[in-house]
Structure formats: structure tokens, C-alpha cells
Structure 1
Amino acid sequence: MKRLILGLLTLLSISTAFAAEGTSEAVPPSITIGVIPGGNPENLREQGLALAKELQAKLNIPVNIYVSKNYVGLIEAMKTKKVDFAFFSSSTYVFAEQQAQAKVLLKKVWHEPYYYSMIITPQRSGIKSLKALKGKKVAFVDDKSSSGYLYPQVALRKEGLSDTDFKEVVFTGNHQASIQFLEAKKVDAAAVFSDDEKGTQGAWEKFGTDKKAKYRILWKSAPIPNDPFCVRQDFYDAYPKTTHTLMFALIDALEQNRNKDTYSEILGSRDLMPATSKQYDPVREMVKALNIELKP
């Protein structure tokens, strides 16, 4: 079994320093927000710099965007205090809550407050069921990705399939890369997200370059809670006002921008809404069902 991990590790920084005013609370010397290149990494870098600049102007505190190469790296970055805040996937949050004391604050809304995992294959492949994937090449995003690996694993195991039953398993690092692998015929199927139940807002629609390509949905998950925005618990305890100011600044950055795609790679394209830990209980149940060790 070949595992291919594609990604990058970048720290995008806005270096001008400011001093926060008008608050009795201690002020952090800077803020670092961690993200994962789940879609287009180049767009993520550009949007990250623009968002950092806007947030810095509102908070009067230097803001950095940390782009992790994968999910495990982002958990470790929060655990070692390289990042103060992070946008996790739903399952990564469950790991981060256990290992890095992540506290959920907000969640993204793309098309709906929930999204879906789907396993797709080109219609030309002739594959019409999950069982037919045996002996085929399959692309997953990351072994900690909710829609790109974990939820599909539950479905595949019910069909008696594991990674060893495939001819090749490729971990691409992000959903866009998984679609690229499909288009290049390097894999026969891929597990990716869809922002709606019917697949009209699927990763293949967002990232596909071959607009004539047709895909068959072999399986779709139950609704999955959208990606949460979290803070490191000790940072929150030390700087609660700064934390809440940043939350509102992020909401404003999305709501007040006429072009909803300006920060879509990071903030989603519709809303940011308050979230609670309990909302992610279905994800914890999935992690328990797969008997996954909660360690980075």
C-alpha cells in the first residue's frame, strides 16, 4: 500500500506590530491562527495574508496565519503553543480537544450548518458499489479527515472492506488534490466532501477543471457538523476579551465583505455561527466506533 502525503508547512505573517489600547486585560504579544489546506493551497495563502491584515487592523495586535501540512501537524502546533486558534475539521477537533485542550467557539456554514462525506467515481469507471472498489485505487485526504477518510471508513468496514483490500491507497493532503487525482486517472475513486446532500456543492464541482466530467456517488454520509473554529484553553483563560473580540472580528470580516468568496478558503462562504462541544457528539461516536486512538 502506497501512501502519498502532499502538502506544505508555511507561516504567513504580517509583521507590523501594534499595541492594543482601551482594555484592562493583559494583551497577547501576537495571535496565530492555524488552518489546513483543505482546498486550494495557493488561494489559502493569499486569503490568509489578506485576512491577517484585516484582523490586525481591527485588533491592533499582530496576526499570523499558520498553514499546516496536515491535520496531525495542526493538532501538534496547538499542543506546543505554536498556534492560539485553529480551524479544525470536525474529527480533528475531537482529537485536539483531547490532546491540545482545544475549546470550540464557532463553526463554518457553507451551504448548510452541516456537510457530507461522499465516495465518488467517474461514471466511465463502471464501478457501481462500494464492494466493487476492492482491488481498485482509492484517494483519501488524510487519515484524520472527517469527510476525506474517517466517515468513509465506517461505511467501507460495513461492506467488509479495509485499506488492505485496495490496490493502492493515496493520501492526497487536501480535497482539491483528490479531485485532481481522479481527473488524471491516477485513482478510481475518491472520498471527498459535499456541502449539500445531493452533491451539487461537492468538491468535484468546486475544484474540478474538467467541467464535462461526470461522477457517480457510491455512498454519502449522514450530516456532519461543519468545521469548528477553536481556541487553546489556556489562551482563552488568559485573554478572554481578546478571544471574543477576534470571534466578532471574524464574523464581521465575512458578513461585511460583499464578495463572500474573499475568505472562503478559511471562513466558508456563508456564515460563522456559535458552536458548542456537544454538537460534535456524533463525531465522537464515529471516532469511538472506529476505535481510533486520540493521539497526534
Structure 2
Amino acid sequence: MKRLILGLITLLVFSPVFAENTPAEEAPPAITIGVIPGGNPENVREQGLTLAKELQTRLNIPVNIYISKNYSGLIEAMKTKKVDFAFFSSATYVLAEEQAKAKVLLKKSWHEPYYYSMVITPLRSGIKNLKQLKGKRMAFVDDKSSSGYLYPWAEFKKLGFSEKDFKEMVFTGNHQASIQFLEAKKVDAAAVFSDDDKGEQGAWKKFGTDKKAKYRIIWQSPPIPNDPFAVRQDFYDLYPKTTHSLMFALIDLVQENRGKDTYTEILGSRDLMPATSKQYDPVREMVKALGLKP
């Protein structure tokens, strides 16, 4: 499996003035927000630094962006209090809620309130369904990725597949890398996200470099709740006002930058909207069906 280098983007600041915090709530010494480089890792790093600087200005609190090397690492970072907030995938959040006491606050939106997992193959491959992938090379993103592994793997299990039924299973680390593997003919199929149910907003459209390449969607998941933004419960208990101020700042940033690529890798492109734990019940059912543990 490809591994991305663990990164922590920090920003040097001068002595902050906590003007907006009342005496009833002391400001935290700093805020750390965790993210997963699920798309373009370099863009995540660049946008993370810009986001930290902007949030720091608005909140008058030092802000760090912690880039986890994988999905499980982000759960562990919240559990060990290395991060206070995190942008999880839907399945990672369900596990983090149980293991790291994550409390959901918001969810991203790119095209719709939901997104989809899709398994795609090059049109020229002649592969038209999942059963034809036996003996083939398959690209997944991460074993905790909702669209890049868990949802399609649940479907493969229904069909009686096991890991040995593939000639090769590759975990690429992010959706962009999965598309690169497909373009380079290193795999025969890939499980990636699509922000709409037609595939017009699919990962292969966003990250593909071969504009002439044509793909066939051979499987599509039910709608998946969009990626949530969560806080560590004990942080929220100590700093509810700071938490809400950060939420409003993030919502404002998305609205102010709509149509631009300033923060899209981290915040989505359309909206950040309030979310509840119950909205992720379908994900919990999938996690339970697969027998996943934190």
C-alpha cells in the first residue's frame, strides 16, 4: 500500500488576542484540525496552510492542520488528542465516534448531500459486471475508505468474493492515485467516489489526465452521507463557544469561496451543513455487516 508522509502544517503566530471569548470560557491554547489526503495530497497540504492562516485570523487562536497518512491514523490522532477536530470519511467517523468519542458537527457537500461509490473499468476492457473481475487486478483506496473500499467490498462479499479471487489487490492511498493506476494499466478496475449518481462528477473526471480515456461504471452504491466534520467530545465540553465559532467560520469560508478552488479539497465546493449522528445510521449498518472494528 502506498503510504503518504505524515504531515503537520503549523503556522507561526504572534501573541493572539482572545477578544471574542468571554470570561466564562477560556480560549484553548491552539486548535488542531485533522484531514485525510483522500484526493490530491499536494493540494490538501497547500489548502491546509491557507485554511489555517484564515481561521487563525478569524478566531484569534493558533490553528494547525494535521494531515494523517491514512484513515486509521486519523482516528488514532483524535483518540490520543493530537487533533481536536477532524474531517472524516463517513465510515471513519462511525468508528471514531465509538473509539475516540467524536461528535459530528457538519458535513460537506460537493454536488449533492450524498455521494456514491462506483467501480469503473476502461471501456475497452470488455468487463461489464463485478463477477468478471475474478482473476483481475483491483485498485482500492484505503481499507477504511467508504467509497474507495468498504461499500464495494460489502458488495463483493455478497457475490462470494474473497481477496484471493483477485489476481492483485492494490491499496493506493487516495482516489487520485487509484485513477493514475487505472490510466497506467496497472489495474483492471478501481473503486472510487462520484459526487453524483450519473458519474459526471466522478473521481476519474476530476483526477484523470487522459481526457480521451473512457470508462464503464459496472457497479454503483446506494447514496452515502457526505464526509462529516467532527469534534472530540471532551474538547467540545470545555470549549463550546470556540467550537461554534469555528463551525460558523468554516461555513462562511465555503460560501465566500464558492466557485473557487481555494479550500475545495478540504471543505468541499458547495456547502457545509449541520449534521447529526443519526444521519450516519446506514453507514453503521454497513460497518456492522462487514464486522469492522476500530
Fold shared, TM-score > 0.5 on shorter chain? yes
Answer yes or no: is the 8 Å Cα contact 2:101–2:232 preserved in 1.
yes
For residues 162-216 of structure 1, give each alpha carbon's deviation from its aligned partner in whole angstroms, at most 9, with x where no partner exists: 2221011100010000000000001100000000000000000000000100001
Once the 2 structures are TM-superposed, how far is the Cα of residue 5 of structure 1 from its aligned partner? 2.6
Equivalent residue runs for 1:243-282 within 5 Å: 243-257=243-257, 259-282=259-282
Bigger drift between 65-74 and 155-164 goes to: 155-164
Partner residue in 2 for 1:26: 26
What is the root-mean-square deviation in Å for CA atoms of aligned residues? 0.9
How many pairs align? 291
Once the 2 structures are TM-superposed, how far is the Cα of residue 258 of structure 1 from its aligned partner? 5.0
Distance (whole Å) between structure 2 residues aligned to residue 158 and residue 98 of structure 1 = 26
Answer yes or no: is the 8 Å Cα contact 2:258–2:269 preserved in 1.
no
Partner residue in 2 for 1:210: 210
For residues 258-278 of structure 1, give each alpha carbon's deviation from its aligned partner in whole angstroms, at most 9, with x where no partner exists: 543210000000000000000
For residues 45-95 of structure 1, give each alpha carbon's deviation from its aligned partner in whole angstroms, at most 9, with x where no partner exists: 110000100000000000000000100000000000000000000000001
Partner residue in 1 for 2:94: 94
Once the 2 structures are TM-superposed, how far is the Cα of residue 160 of structure 1 from its aligned partner? 1.3
Bigger drift between 88-97 and 6-15 goes to: 6-15
Distance (whole Å) between structure 1 residues aligned to residue 197 and residue 244 of structure 2 = 33
Equivalent residue runs for 1:139-150 within 5 Å: 139-150=139-150
Distance (whole Å) between structure 2 residues aligned to residue 192 and residue 199 of structure 1 = 10
Partner residue in 1 for 2:134: 134
Partner residue in 2 for 1:223: 223
> Per the alignment, in what secondary structure is the counterpart of residue 161 of structure 2?
coil
Once the 2 structures are TM-superposed, how far is the Cα of residue 6 of structure 1 from its aligned partner? 2.8
Equivalent residue runs for 1:43-54 within 5 Å: 43-54=43-54
Distance (whole Å) between structure 1 residues aligned to residue 65 and residue 223 of structure 2 = 29
2:7 to 7, 10, 29: 10
Answer yes or no: is the 8 Å Cα contact 2:49–2:65 preserved in 1.
yes
Distance (whole Å) between structure 2 residues aligned to residue 93 and residue 55 of structure 1 = 23
> Per the alignment, in what secondary structure is the counterpart of residue 176 of structure 1?
helix
Answer yes or no: is the 8 Å Cα contact 1:6–1:171 preserved in 2.
no
Unaligned 5+ residue runs, structure 2?
Answer: none
- TM-score w.r.t. structure 1 length? 0.97
Once the 2 structures are TM-superposed, how far is the Cα of residue 257 of structure 1 from its aligned partner? 2.1
Distance (whole Å) between structure 2 residues aligned to residue 291 and residue 253 of structure 1 = 38
Partner residue in 2 for 1:292: 292
Unaligned 5+ residue runs, structure 1?
Answer: none
**Structure 1 runs (4+) greater than 4 angstroms displaced:** none
Distance (whole Å) between structure 1 residues aligned to residue 140 and residue 183 of structure 2 = 15
Once the 2 structures are TM-superposed, how far is the Cα of residue 129 of structure 1 from its aligned partner? 1.1
> Per the alignment, in what secondary structure is the counterpart of residue 246 of structure 1?
helix
- Aligned AA for 1:11? L
- TM-score w.r.t. structure 2 length? 0.97
